[in-house]
Amino acid sequence: MPQRLPIGIVGGTGYVSGELLRLLATHPSLKLGSIASVSQTGTPVAQVFPNLASCVDDVSFASVDELESMWRDGGLRGLFCATPHGAAAPVIARLLEGYGGSGRVVDISADFRFRDVRTFREIYGQDHGAPQLADEFFCAVPEHSAPTPARHAAHPGCFATAMLLGIVPLLRSGLTDGPFHIAGVTGSTGSGRSPLATTHHPERHSNLYAYRPLNHRHAPEVRAIALHLTGEDAAVQFVPHSGPFARGIHITIQGSLARSADGTSLLAALKHAYEDRPFVEVVDTPPRIKDVVGSNRARITATAEADCFAVMVVLDNLVKGAAGGAMQWMNRLLDLDERAGLTIPGPAWI
């Protein structure tokens, strides 16, 4: 068996970190080297993630100082940063300052999703924590860029991942015109581990409601990434909804077809875009969340009537939309098979 490479996780107590731990537990080429938490330093990981007790029973959360020491001594080949938005950039800057090793970083926060740090300030209302590092990170869905044109990577947000899977092939194909009108529904885990009024189970159960309609931060994120990848500046009009389930995302993208396009050509363009991408399946019927929950897979389809089209995408917000997509980037940055550790099927009846 080849030696498994040690990986670090910063910001270790959230749902995404739990998914990273789950994926690392069965990864053939990577293993957990250190996981750091400011709030839970010294606490057994199994106490925070009891579902992972069988694979982390002897691991405790390290301090950031302890993880940094391992990183600078060459004891970690890669780092996942899963801290909250705004907190990631200063931590990453600290870890990369004066660093001469070969380790790679994948950021799962929003801090390195925008190439222009002024855009980050406009959307998040705060200065960027490490503007000098903006050019060292590349942000996109892994399926849309190969090879990776930067030393480090940033994974788009979960809603953004779903939208980009539909929008980027449409823009590259030239089969659509005008703005994209998008409605999306996400599970409660997308709001993080700390309970809020909108994520409290009695409020969310058997309920459905929109939030931040036409004013969600993922819309400019999608527009900026799509522009960089395709050269097309397409308006994104996005209305997100909170769904009464824990995990998963379903989005519907609607708009106008170009004059020469129809549903058949649209579906063909999607199939061509993802024909060699193992984690995106283009199907002929509307996909369901339970088709993909718990896995790193996404499913997508398209239909059209007259000059209107609809594209539907489903994925797991914690896996393909966060930890799994980040693992794809880490595999690629470390010259591993992109599928490594990510082929486990979803449980379907979760």
Q: Which two tokens stand for residue 127?
A: 């200065």
Distance of CA 270 to the CA centre of its chain: 20
State yes or no: pLDDT of 203 exceeds 90. Answer: no
What are the angstrom distances between the C-alpha of 205 and each of 208, 294, 316?
8, 20, 19
- Residue whose token pair is 């200065």: 127
Does residue 1 register a pLDDT over 60?
A: no
Higher confidence at residue 195 or residue 130?
130
**What average pLDDT does range 68-95 have in this prediction?**
96
Mean pLDDT of 78-101: 95
CA distance 197 to 57: 33
Beta bridge partners of 303: 310
User: Cα-Cα-Cα-Cα dihedral of 254, 144, 91, 6, to 10°?
Assistant: 130
Element (H, E) at 256: strand 249-257
Give the separation between CA 1 and CA 152, rounded to whole angstroms: 27
What pLDDT score was predicted for residue 193?
77
Nearest Cα to 35, choosing from 12, 15, 6? 12
To the nearest whole number, what is the mean pLDDT of the chain?
94
Q: What is the mean pLDDT of residues 240-259?
A: 95
- Using only C-alpha atoms, the chain has a radius of gyration, in whole angstroms, of 20
State which H helix or E strand residue 237 sits in.
strand 236-242
Per-residue pLDDT, averaged over 315-341, amounts to 97
Name the pTM for this structure.
0.96
pLDDT for 93 beyond 80: yes
pLDDT digits (tens, 9 = 90+) for 263-314: 999 999 999 999 999 999 999 999 999 999 999 999 999 999 999 999 999 9
Give the residue, 136 or 260, on which the prediction is more confident: 136
Strand spans (E) along 143-189 = 152-154, 176-186
Q: What is the mean pLDDT of residues 119-127?
A: 92
pLDDT at residue 190 is higher than 60? yes
Q: How many CA atoms lie within 13 A of 219 on its CB side?
A: 19
Residue whose C-alpha is closest to residue 238's, from 190, 181, 185, 186: 181
Cβ neighbours of residue 336 under 8 Å, at least 6 residues apart?
29, 30, 330
Measured between alpha carbons, how far is 89 from 133 in angstroms, rounded to an integer? Answer: 9
Q: Stretch 326-335: mean pLDDT, rounded?
A: 97
Predicted pLDDT of residue 194: 75
Active-site annotation, residues: 158
Local confidence band at 202 (pLDDT 50, 70, 90 cut-offs)? confident
Cα–Cα distance between 292 and 315 in angstroms, integer? Answer: 6
Ordered domains of the chain (ranges, CATH):
5-139 (3.40.50.720), 159-317 (3.30.360.10)
Under a CB-based contact definition with an 8 Å cutoff, are residues 72 and 101 in contact?
yes
Tokens of 42: 């010294």
19-74 pLDDT, tens digit per residue, is 999 999 999 999 999 999 999 999 999 999 999 999 998 999 999 999 999 999 99
